[in-house]
Homo-oligomer: A and B are copies of this chain.
Amino acid sequence: MTIQNTESSLPAQVPPHAGLSFTEENYLKCIYTLSQKEETVSTRLIAKEMDSRDSSVTDMLKRLSAKGTINYIKYKGVSLSESGYATALHIIRKHRLWEVFLVSKLKFKWDEVHEIAEQLEHIKSSRLVDRLDEFLDFPRFDPHGDPIPDKDGNMPNYTQFPLQNAPQDQWLELTRVTNDSQEFLRYLEQTHLLIGSRFKIKQFIEFDESFMLELSDNSSLHISQKVAQHILVRITD
């Protein structure tokens, strides 16, 4: 059995590269993620991220290149082609929308949904994605605070920055975390720091680069440099 794309009639609605396998989609997603930091991505980095061997990656890069989803030059690294980029964004859109669904409708904790969303992101039906989007009332961020691309691949525009760069004594909203480990997410939950939480920086302790926060319920919270490092915020009035 081959998993074929289920949208038959409407060519306009067929997502970019509907004929990709789960594995190919995962590679594209991986290359997308790594491309956030560097222009071109090395075979070795991908192998590390995908937990596979370099030779397997080379094989896959050839396949993806043949399908036009990446720009690949031997020994020179790889970047996403325009259509590969669109595909990656589409997968990320699905992943994040499903995460919202799992948390907001099925009452999962935000640190429990990643693995399930890894499976759901490969379901092929753009009508499904768009209806899910509508059902969830067009969320712009997932439970981790990551932005959700819209139908056309546009990321929501928003201004967020590392907590370390935030001004003191102004109300901030936690918009995103940049670490997905169970340990980190459980810590945040325990301290009631969640996406959407509001707080002020009351003090920056230079000695260990830690922060003293004041939460919206007037309680205080001390967080280490290591934690602050993985928190993004925006200013709220």
Chain A interfacial positions (CB closer than 8 Å to B): 1, 3, 6, 22-23, 26, 50, 52, 102, 105-108, 115-116, 119-120, 123-125, 127-128, 131-132, 135
Copies of this chain present in the complex amount to 2
Which residue of chain B lies nearest to A52 when distances are taken between CB atoms in the complex?
B1
- A105 partner residues in chain B, CB cutoff 8 A: 135
A53 to chain B, nearest CB (A): 13
- A50 partner residues in chain B, CB cutoff 8 A: 1
B116 A128 Cβ-Cβ under 8 A: yes
- A128 partner residues in chain B, CB cutoff 8 A: 102, 106, 116
- A1 partner residues in chain B, CB cutoff 8 A: 22-23, 26, 50, 52
- A123 partner residues in chain B, CB cutoff 8 A: 116, 119-120
- Contact A116 to B106, CB < 8 A, known contacts A1-B22, A23-B1: no
Inter-chain CA distance A135–B103, complex, in Å, is 12
- A6 partner residues in chain B, CB cutoff 8 A: 115-116, 119
Inter-chain CA distance A125–B105, complex, in Å, is 16
- A125 partner residues in chain B, CB cutoff 8 A: 115-116, 119
A15 to chain B, nearest CB (A): 14
A207 to chain B, nearest CB (A): 40
A66 to chain B, nearest CB (A): 19
Inter-chain CA distance A172–B227, complex, in Å, is 63
A sample of 11 inter-chain contacts (CB < 8 A) reads A1-B23, A1-B50, A6-B115, A6-B116, A6-B119, A106-B132, A106-B135, A115-B125, A119-B124, A119-B125, A120-B123
